[in-house]
Amino acid sequence: MGLAAAGGAIVLSGTPVRAFGQTPLLKHLRNLETDRVLVLVQLSGGNDGLNTIVPKTNDLYYQARPQIAIASNQTLPLSSDLGFHPAFDALTPLYSDGDMAVVQNVGYPAPRLSHFDSTDIWLTASNSEDILSTGWMGRYLDSEFPDFDEEPTSFPLAVQMGGTSALMFQGPTANMGMSLASPELFERIAEEGIIYEIASLPDTTFGKEMEFVRTVANESFIYAEAVQSASEMGQNKVEYPQGNALAQNLSIVARLIKGQLGARIYHVSIGGFDNHANQGGANGQHANLLRNLSEAITTFIEDLEADSASKDVLIATFSEFGRRVNQNGSNGTDHGTAAPMFLFGDGVEGGIFGDNPDLNDLDQTGNLKFEIDFRSVYATLLKDWFGLTEQTVESVMGGSFDILGLINDPATPTAIETNAVPERFTLAQNYPNPFNPATTITYTLERTERVTLRIYDTQGRLVQTLVDGTQPAGQHAMAFDAGHLASGSYFYTLQTSDGLKTRQMTLVR
């Protein structure tokens, strides 16, 4: 069943839980001796950013959405030209207190509008042209510990609530997680320290065979004692909203955090955001989802505060993409590109990050142009929340990404011995930068191999391919003349057999 290798899994109050064994990234987090926890909330289906953070003074927004736009006087105060969806009313005190950050226009170059592809990109932090089959944590394991063979810890360092395969933690040969989906299993593990009960099995051939299988599963679940102990120590101190699956998931996370399970990362999700038809405006399907999100998060934070456990917990939301600017013929919205991310917690630098969506300057498909790469948010969380070094962060993310000022008390970076193998290729920042009209891009290769060096604009369109072929080991420099291009930001990506690195450059006329 793979439970010993994976660490086992249980169901907490009806929710399947996936516990992830040790990877080098998680080992970093443990060795940092930090009590900080990251809770990732996935808004599955593609959240409509424009109806979540409403451009209430923009006439183009109301022209594009005659049936589903949120009236300006229905929004909740955010800024002079932006308003929260009214279903976010539970979150407004967090924003007022400086414990909520809104990161606008988050996306990535050459966006994919497939749920499956775009979700994979967010979970693997890969380039849209080369979606990887391994998560960024799994790749970190492969690059720094190619002969990794270490006993797992006595407690899980990352836990997924529900779902199936956890691509974020997928290594090159095995997934480090496991899952079960029985609503009774949490009470068994909490009360008896086992996954499956065997006392009531019939005294038949089938019963004996089932007893054997269940006994193996119980003995293979190496985190039973840790989960049982955490479930006994951690108790919910507030009442969570009924009929709210996300709230139920977060109530379990709160219980495990307060019970000192030891996990550093939790991943939960809420589905239903693929609103192609009858999306609604101030009321309706989308409003109900946002209300569930708002109430679940505020209750979760209130529960943590009741036991003084909130200061070391940060919550971040993400969705595979946003929605198009124009409503469709079914009073819904179709797959889009950029959308906001939200961060919550005492450690968050509250406010709005990034510019408002530009409805005057859409791409050729009628979609918003992204401004902030989602990998910059990930890199910021790793560096400033968990305190990983810049070198470690770059190794995890497969490239260098801007660090945003999202954390009000950044952790001090700590160097940790990792027995890392030498980096097989590097991509330097172009020079000069900003530039006009020419600049030079340099990179190094450890061995002779095939490489591609491409330039993209902020819409994700390929501007130019500078290299596409086999090159020898050593340092290389490629000139890029942007005399025919408009001012703005551009991205250059270096792809080799060992991975992909991306950097940003700015053309100033």
pLDDT 10s digits, 368-387: 999 999 999 999 998 999 88
Average pLDDT, the chain: 81
Report residue 288 as tokens: 């109900």
The mean pLDDT of 93-101, rounded to a whole number, is: 94
Q: What pLDDT is attached to residue 267?
A: 84
* CATH code 3.40.720 region(s) in the chain: 3-397
Is the pLDDT at 181 greater than 60? The verdict is no
The mean pLDDT of 188-194, rounded to a whole number, is: 58
Is the pLDDT at 191 greater than 80? The verdict is no
The mean pLDDT of 329-354, rounded to a whole number, is: 95
Is the pLDDT at 225 greater than 50? The verdict is yes
Is the pLDDT at 51 greater than 70? The verdict is yes
Q: What pLDDT is attached to residue 66?
A: 96
Q: 63: part of which helix (H) or strand (E)?
A: helix 59-64
Q: What pLDDT is attached to residue 284?
A: 96
Please state which of the four CATH numbers 3.40.50.11750, 3.30.70.520, 3.30.540.10, 2.60.40.1930 is assigned to the domain occupying 425-507. Answer: 2.60.40.1930
Q: What pLDDT is attached to residue 460?
A: 74
Burial class (CB in 10 A: 0-12, 13-18, 19+), 281: buried
At residue 233, what are phi and psi to the nearest 5 degrees? -80, -40
Q: What pLDDT is attached to residue 333?
A: 96
Q: What pLDDT is attached to residue 489?
A: 85
Q: What is the DSSP string of 75-134?
A: SEESSSS-EE-GGGTTTHHHHHTT-EEEEEEEE-SS----HHHHHHHHHHT--TTS--SS
C-alpha triplet 15, 386, 339: angle, nearest 5°: 65
Residue 230: pLDDT band with limits 50, 70, 90: confident
Lowest-pLDDT range of 71-75, 206-210, 360-364, 449-453: 206-210
Q: What pLDDT is attached to residue 256?
A: 86
Is the pLDDT at 13 greater than 70? The verdict is no
Please indicate whether residue 469 or residue 13 has the higher confidence score (pLDDT). 469
C-alpha count within 13 angstroms, C-beta hemisphere, residue 236:
16
| Strands 351-353 vs 100-107: parallel, antiparallel or unpaired | parallel
Q: What pLDDT is attached to residue 433?
A: 82
At residue 482, what are phi and psi to the nearest 5 degrees? -105, 30
Q: In which residue are the tokens 């490239």 written?
A: 399
How far, in Å, CA of 48 to CA of 70, rounded?
A: 12
Q: What pLDDT is attached to residue 420?
A: 38
Q: What pLDDT is attached to residue 99?
A: 95
- Name the amino acid, one letter, at 10: I
Please indicate whether residue 249 or residue 198 has the higher confidence score (pLDDT). 249
Coil/strand/helix, residue 265: strand
Evaluate the CA torsion angle 403, 409, 413, 418 in order and state its sign.
negative
Say what the pTM is.
Answer: 0.74
Residue 218: pLDDT band with limits 50, 70, 90: low
Q: What pLDDT is attached to residue 413?
A: 64
- Name the amino acid, one letter, at 490: Y
Cis status of the peptide bond prior to 93, with omega within 30 of 0: no
Is the pLDDT at 97 greater than 50? The verdict is yes
Q: What pLDDT is attached to residue 385?
A: 92
* CATH code 2.60.40.1930 region(s) in the chain: 425-507
Please indicate whether residue 443 or residue 265 has the higher confidence score (pLDDT). 443
Q: What is the pLDDT of residues 347-360, one digit of tens each?
A: 999 999 999 999 99
Q: What is the pLDDT of residues 272-315, one digit of tens each?
A: 999 999 999 999 999 999 999 999 999 999 999 999 999 999 99
How far, in Å, CA of 281 to CA of 436, rounded?
A: 45
Q: What is the pLDDT of residues 100-143, one digit of tens each?
A: 999 999 999 999 989 888 888 877 777 787 766 665 544 433 33
Please indicate whether residue 129 or residue 55 has the higher confidence score (pLDDT). 55
What percent of the chain is predicted at pLDDT more than 70?
A: 76
Is the pLDDT at 330 greater than 50? The verdict is yes
Lowest-pLDDT range of 85-94, 191-200, 350-359, 490-499: 191-200
Listed in sequence order, the residues at least 6 apart from 78 whose beta carbon sits closer than 8 Å to its beta carbon are 53, 84, 95, 102, 352
Is the pLDDT at 205 greater than 50? The verdict is yes
Q: What is the pLDDT of residues 135-164, one digit of tens each?
A: 554 443 333 334 434 444 556 667 777 654
- For the domain spanning 3-397, the CATH number is 3.40.720
Q: What pLDDT is attached to residue 452?
A: 93
